[in-house]
Amino acid sequence: MKKHLLILLSLPFMAHAQNTMNIVEGSSPIKYNNMIFGHFIEHFDTQIYGGIFDPNSKFADEDGFRTDVIEALKQIKVPIVRWPGGCFVSTYHWVDGVGPERQPVYDKTWQVEDPNTFGTDEYIKWCRKVGCEPYICTNAGTGTPEEMSDWVEYCNLSVGKWGRMRMANGYAEPHNVKYWSVGNENWGAHELGARTVQEWGPLVRESAKLMLSVSKDLKLFAAATSNKNWTLPLLREAGRHLNYISIHGYWDPLFHHNNPAPFIDCMMKTDAPEQDIQRTIGILEEAGFGGGRIKIAYDEWNLRNWHHPWHGNFRRGFDLEARRKNDIPSQYTMADALFSACFLNACLRHADIVDIACFSPIVNTRGAIFVHPEGILKRTTFHVFDMYVNLLEDYVQPIDWNTERLEGNKNASTGVLDGVLTISEDGTRHALVVVNKDPKQSRKLTLAINKKLPRRIEGKVLCGASPDDYNEIGAENRVTPEDRMFVLKDGCVELPPHSLTVLRF
């Protein structure tokens, strides 16, 4: 008979490892929204043109979309993609991107010409091929509430000037776009069409009223931050119309100088996203929209800022060639993978409030995928999404962690392990996802859950040969998930250094 170990609740003498995971007594599993595995794409550099849309590519389909990219996005079951920006949207007029005659427009945000050959209808068509929900961010910079609501008419009505325009453009059926955001980062001086706190609430309120007058069931977002000085007034003025508030996070500031932070410094940043989430939850509660009445959409996030000097310095202008530095493969390492896994764990731990998250961006720049004429490169972060969407169960089982500390520079420290336990609806299957942030040492984890565990547990591990390992053209699979059997010893499993592991039992 297969020998089973009954792992009792962890007792001090049993916890050989200082790292222990206990199920929270009396807790109930929470179903998370798979839209936390969403993505973002912007009209920036080669994300759209030369990224997902390249009619001259040998991989292009009849619409000019790269089929190798679409297949990769299906592999990670992309559930939602936010478009067209980002800062770009704050000077974008959607009508320029529809209809038979497209005029190129000078994109004042990124200071290049946009051919407008990829617009709303192409975006919707692309989303249908990927199998994801479209999520449109509107122009609250140089745009108006009426322009936003006209865009909703174009997409969702079959009457009126704009709905009939879509039909005349060859799309008889409404696009039925459910997810709409008012504005991008209008709170920031870097944004063209930035707004003051006093302006923002009323603008969102009036935009929301117009958009809801077109489609009353919209899922409506507004640009917010985890700073109450901006977000509290917004909620007081417009909260009653909103389903979500959007926050963004980039933690390695590479806008102007492309010198990626080293692994250990990136690990010291892994607690920051959850701190932002907790601050934002506090603001929602203070404004009377807690408990899920308004949820959080972390709809732009990435460890690394995009590199585009000198964004926001309007007297200096951009160094356009510098954008190529985003393509350097060696900067997307296990630091990016483990930070991203910790970010997703934070979203899972707050599954009752964090409903959507969009990795920024999806293709090229700092994306999970890099494209080149002969194919695509799956960066380390792609494999993180692959493991989460394809190996986790549908519910989060609340657990208490007791974890050793990992010391960083300048007295910084963080818990060395970061994990989430997921469970199937019927409670029969578990998938534990856990990060070991230690760049050198394996770490033991006591699985203190009151469940018979097999002595040998199937695992999937992403770790590379070193913390700084990465994939590149010609070495596409240097860092890729590997099957690994874990043997339970005294209730402990040993997790490899600089690793993301999913244990299924």
Helical segments of 34-182, H only: 67-75, 120-130, 145-156, 160-168
> Does residue 137 contact residue 85 with C-beta atoms inside 8 Å?
yes
Tell me which of 54, 133, 300, 418 binds ligand AHR, using CB under 6 A. 300
Token pair belonging to 443:
């770490």
Pick the closer one to ligand AHR by CB: 311 or 379: 311
Pick the closer one to ligand AHR by CB: 54 or 185: 185
User: Residue 86 interacts with ligand AHR (CB under 6 A)?
Assistant: yes
User: Residue 417 interacts with ligand AHR (CB under 6 A)?
Assistant: no
> Does residue 387 contact residue 420 with C-beta atoms inside 8 Å?
no
User: Residue 107 interacts with ligand AHR (CB under 6 A)?
Assistant: no
| Crossing angle of helices 197-214 and 145-156, rounded to 10° | 30
Q: How far is the CB of 304 from ligand AHR (least distance, A)?
A: 10
Query: Which residue is at the shortest CB distance from ligand AHR?
Result: 86
Q: At 182, is the secondary structure helix, strand, or coil?
A: strand
Pick the closer one to ligand AHR by CB: 137 or 423: 137
x/- mask, ligand AHR, residues 128-167, rule CB under 6 A, reads: ----------------------------------------
Which of positions 374-393 make contact with ligand AHR (CB under 6 A)? none
Q: How far is the CB of 331 from ligand AHR (least distance, A)?
A: 15
> Does residue 148 contact residue 139 with C-beta atoms inside 8 Å?
yes
Q: Given CA atoms 150, 151, 153, 154 in this order, what sign does their dihedral have?
A: positive
**Residue from 62, 65, 72, 23 nearest 48 by CA:** 65
Active site residues per annotation: 185, 300
Pick the closer one to ligand AHR by CB: 180 or 306: 306
User: Residue 185 interacts with ligand AHR (CB under 6 A)?
Assistant: yes
Tell me which of 20, 39, 42, 175 binds ligand AHR, using CB under 6 A. 42
Pick the closer one to ligand AHR by CB: 184 or 397: 184
Which of positions 197-256 make contact with ligand AHR (CB under 6 A)? 248
- The string of DSSP letters for 363-384 reads BSTT-SEEEETTEEEE-HHHHH
Stretch that binds ligand AHR, among 8-16, 59-67, 80-88, 490-498 (CB under 6 A): 80-88
Q: How far is the CB of 185 from ligand AHR (least distance, A)?
A: 5
Pick the closer one to ligand AHR by CB: 206 or 300: 300
Token pair belonging to 276:
């932002």
Task: Count the helices and strands in the chain (H runs, E runs).
Answer: 10, 27
Count other C-beta atoms under 10 Å from residue 27's C-beta: 12
Q: At 431, is the secondary structure helix, strand, or coil?
A: strand
User: d(Cα 82, Cα 278) in Å, to the nearest integer?
Assistant: 23
User: Residue 299 interacts with ligand AHR (CB under 6 A)?
Assistant: no
User: Residue 85 interacts with ligand AHR (CB under 6 A)?
Assistant: yes
User: d(Cα 153, Cα 40) in Å, to the nearest integer?
Assistant: 23
The site for ligand AHR (CB under 6 A) is made up of: 42, 85-87, 184-185, 248, 300, 305-306
